[in-house]
Structure 1
């Protein structure tokens, strides 16, 4: 990591993090409104007695250049009565005309649907019902935007998005995590001792074959992909869009080394956003990452 020369008062300015060969340099253009707008970058971070959360979402170079808004979103809240962290990460499909809205609405709908179930006393939220609620929210949002009742294809054309939603709570043997997903956003357990990224869902690529289509909300698969387990000591939960997952790959390269080093302990939310905005040629998608450390997991 290189720093710019000292500025007034001895404060240094952060320079862009570069991995291998950087992408082109240019000043980002303002996004055109496409059903909704969102800032170029946003981040969040807080701790409970049991866990520390950080999240960040940044607009990719392709969207900065072509004046498109960021199409990723993340949302996380604490259910105070149970100590459960509820979270969601979404990646609006590029072919959907208002995918920025789709991603943000899907995240909010999923998080608050889980929160409502916990309020009702459910020990294990029905995550399939959460997906259906998020899909219904997208349908209602499309109806409001179109000012008429849309069919499923019209909701897709407007608001299609991937979604990973889940919960994390302290259990007798560690942090218990439950996840569900639609689409190709991913989740990993980062093993701090070995600097290994252990995928919790099937990876996007299968050999040299990359899927050309992605199942996305508002369609809910008959059997959505799920993962449940307990974070082992020294592991960090990561949930991210393919803008992070694609350059990460199997985690053995330079991007994996960069994040393994900087996520050994919870960074500041602003530093996570800065780190996530690294420059590497050919990787120009939006990037979103949510990380959850059990307290005491950092080395």
Structure 2
């Protein structure tokens, strides 16, 4: 009589061959990097996107932090990308305040409605009034959302950063003009060196007074920055979940090495999932390469 072999399921502890665990940079984190309880609010753990545009290559990801995974709480970061089909790309990131349970709604709203106010984004960094009009429009949409949902306005508080990247044919350059409220960051990577796109103080560190500022309030504190992107350059927009670990030279140099060229989407997700002790917040980045 023919014997039938029983199927033996593979161990769940095994990893997919050739696909390593996220890189640990510095000290080993305490929180494990794997899904935990399902959040009461259904929102994807991770968003990932990318595009190949004339003169530009884009990679973007918003990843729930290991702490939120461990406690089963929702990802509070958001991102958005739009291209007008001609010469202009709009990219934005937002980070709902951790102290507000519904702040993910404010972050998502800001990134969803930004396109409607693209015409108000300044074409030049000195056009500060235009920047105020842009964030005022986005803030108004957050207020409307709070009214519709019957939520206190402060519960939807979110930091916000947007960049208008436009081809300048006469100068053979793509110019990025950026507007932010809060502590999201933007860096220009040129020949392996990171440079902040926003005003810095005398000792070269980021201004920290913006850390608690957020929409829909603090419209008057909108900041404007810019970067000119030449072939080989990259523009990074990110929430503080990535900005904070980048203050360490190990992380910033590793990312500069990884992002010297546009990675594949799977590579980008793996790179964004690096682990570093005490840095387990949501992590969102939009990377725009001038190719």
TM-score category (smaller protein): 0.7 to 0.9
Q: Aligned-residue CA RMSD in angstroms?
A: 2.8
User: How big is the shift at 1:176?
Assistant: 0.8
CA distance in 2, matches of 1:212, 1:117: 22
Counterpart of 1:175 in structure 2 is 174
- 1:16 equivalent in alignment to 2:13: no
Verify the 8 A CA contact 2:188 2:227 in the aligned structure 1. Answer: no
TM-score by length of 2: 0.84
After superposition, what is the alpha-carbon deviation per residue over 1:202-248, rounded to whole angstroms, capped at 9, x for unaligned?
46998799659511000143252101342244321110011111010
After superposition, what is the alpha-carbon deviation per residue over 1:171-221, rounded to whole angstroms, capped at 9, x for unaligned?
132111111000000000011x2x211011246998799659511000143
52, 74, 82: which one pairs with 1:77?
Answer: 82
Verify the 8 A CA contact 1:51 1:293 in the aligned structure 2. Answer: yes
Counterpart of 1:266 in structure 2 is 262
User: How big is the shift at 1:5?
Assistant: 8.0
Verify the 8 A CA contact 1:239 1:290 in the aligned structure 2. Answer: yes
Q: 1:212 to 1:65 in 2, by over 3 A?
A: farther
Range with greater deviation from structure 2 (19-28 or 66-75): 19-28
User: How big is the shift at 1:6?
Assistant: 8.1
Task: Figure out how many residues of one structure are paired with residues of the other and give that number.
Answer: 271
- 1:92 equivalent in alignment to 2:96: yes
Structure 2 portions without partners, runs of 5+:
1-12
Structure 1 portions without partners, runs of 5+:
none
Which has more radius of gyration?
2
TM-score by length of 1: 0.82
After superposition, what is the alpha-carbon deviation per residue over 1:30-51, rounded to whole angstroms, capped at 9, x for unaligned?
3423xx5321111100111111
Q: 1:26 to 1:109 in 2, by over 3 A?
A: closer
CA distance in 1, matches of 2:110, 2:68: 21
Counterpart of 2:243 in structure 1 is 245
Counterpart of 2:287 in structure 1 is 291
